[in-house]
Structure 1
Amino acid sequence: MGAAPALQELREVCQPQAKLASRNGEHWMGRLYMRRVSLRVTRHLVRTPVTPNQLTWTMVVCGVAAGAALLIPGVPGALLAVVLFQGFLLFDCVDGEVARWKRVTSATGVYVDRLGAYLADAALMAGAGFRAAQSGAGGWVSLGLATALGVVLLKASTDLVDVARARGGLPVSADDEATRPRSQGVAAARRIAAAFKIHRVTNGLEASLVLLAASLADPAVGGVGATRWVLVALAAVTWVMVPAHLLSILSSSRLR
């Protein structure tokens, strides 16, 4: 198989600064620590026959399994969901790094990557609904599924910008300036929301940590009371963001 490439050489090829610096292209956990871990995993994987698409499918499995893990009662299930979502992030980093090193790219890989992001976050919210309904209250399952739907709509509204631009004959917009709303009122609201970063809880990585904290608090509250309060908060934030995000897109220059 040959010697493993040096980390510095691998970093220059697999972790281009343009991607790492992108506000929308790199999760903050990736910048903070996961890229350091992923590079060491990639260093060994590039010497194997494994393909980027196989790694992307592994990412998808980790994400969906994280939602299923919440069906396990108590802290063990919530902790397993966190671990699996960290695996999701790891393989989300590794698949692209292996693709860049091997110079193998495909539309299939991009498609499965986006599909995985939808499925993972939706599965976690749905899993939270089933966890909250462990004492038999079926309405919590519906709330979890509604939150999952909201998360999917948030992601879809962002991805549909690229679809609309492509079908309208416009180039892909990579300029952050284009994402800024033209309306001063909408822009101010967007800055406030960004300052508090409350929108991050709609992402499965952050939501899994919040749900773990809730599982630790559940015994003190009684039953799954803390988990239920967290689910209500997740649903509220998600469904406030759905119309707000749509308004932000329509009032910006992204579709022009």
Structure 2
Amino acid sequence: MGAAPVLEELREVCQPQAKLASRNGEHWAGRLYMRRISLRTTRQLVRTPVTPDQLTWTMVVCGVAAGAALMIPGLTGAVLAVVLMQLFLLFDCVDGEVARWKGQNSAAGIYVDRLGAYLADAALMAGAGYRAAESGVGGWLSVGIATALGVILLKASTDLVDVARARRGLAVADDESTRPRSQGVATVRRIAAAFKIHRVTNGIEASLVLLVAAVADTVTGGIEPTRWALGALAVITWVMVPAHLLSILSSSRLR
């Protein structure tokens, strides 16, 4: 292996400001702390034969495993789910950074990356349903699966904007185009953004919510806090589905 690249040089190539500054292109946790960790991880990985696609598949495994971890009763499963979702975020950062440094970007890698995001978040919600049902079938498992479906619809509605624009021969939508043309919709969106409640539909945030619920379960000696948490996630997700669709249709993203 050769010498590790200088961090500043690596940052300039692997973490372009245009991407990090994009409201829709970067997770808040990435900007807050994970990009600092990922750059140091990337610095070591670029010296190895590992490929970006291999890192992307590792990301997918971590995300799906996070959902499976919730099937482990008690705090152990909830803590493991949070750790795995953090690893999911780490590899989500690292695969792109390694791809930029090595010049190995591929359509397959982008596809698997998006598929991984779908699978990870859906697996976490389904795992929460299994957990709330206390390792059995029934209504709470159905709530978890329904929430997983809602999360998939939220992600699909966003990705389908790019599909529609590509088929019309349009460039990728920028942040400005996401602003609703309707003043009323824009006001509702600003209120929702102020409370950031929509973020819990993301697997990383949802895993933290479920960890807090697991702590409450331990204190109370029951499973009700997890059930309340899952119920809240389900309601928020399914309120967001039509709201997100309205936001897209009332913006300039499809024009």
TM range (shorter): over 0.9
Task: For structure 1, list consecutive stretches of 5 or more residues without a partner in the other structure.
Answer: none
The letter for the 1-side match of 2:236 is V
2:99 corresponds in structure 1 to 99
2: CA distance between counterparts of 1:55 and 1:136? Answer: 34
4+ runs deviating over 4 angstroms: none
1:196 corresponds in structure 2 to 195
1:110 corresponds in structure 2 to 110
2: CA distance between counterparts of 1:220 and 1:46? Answer: 45
What CA deviation, in whole Å up to 9, does each residue of 1:30-86 have, x standing for no partner? 111111111111011001110000000000000000000000001000000000000
1:90 corresponds in structure 2 to 90
The letter for the 1-side match of 2:240 is M
Are the equivalent residues in 1 in contact too, given 2:78–2:210 (CA < 8 A)? yes
The letter for the 2-side match of 1:73 is P
Are the equivalent residues in 1 in contact too, given 2:71–2:135 (CA < 8 A)? no
2: CA distance between counterparts of 1:191 and 1:211? Answer: 26
Q: TM-score, normalised by structure 1?
A: 0.98
Compute the RMSD of aligned alpha carbons. Answer: 0.9
2:226 corresponds in structure 1 to 227
- Secondary structure of 2:49 counterpart: coil
1:250 corresponds in structure 2 to 249
Change (3 A) 1:135 1:65: closer
**Does residue 144 of structure 2 align to residue 144 of structure 1?**
yes
2: CA distance between counterparts of 1:69 and 1:104? Answer: 32
1:168 corresponds in structure 2 to 168
What CA deviation, in whole Å up to 9, does each residue of 1:215-242 have, x standing for no partner? 0001333421100000000000000000
1: CA distance between counterparts of 2:137 and 2:90? Answer: 35
Q: TM-score, normalised by structure 2?
A: 0.98
What CA deviation, in whole Å up to 9, does each residue of 1:184-242 have, x standing for no partner? 11111111000000000000000000000000001333421100000000000000000
- Secondary structure of 1:253 counterpart: coil
Task: For structure 2, list consecutive stretches of 5 or more residues without a partner in the other structure.
Answer: none
2:239 corresponds in structure 1 to 240
Change (3 A) 1:249 1:226: same
Are the equivalent residues in 1 in contact too, given 2:130–2:136 (CA < 8 A)? no
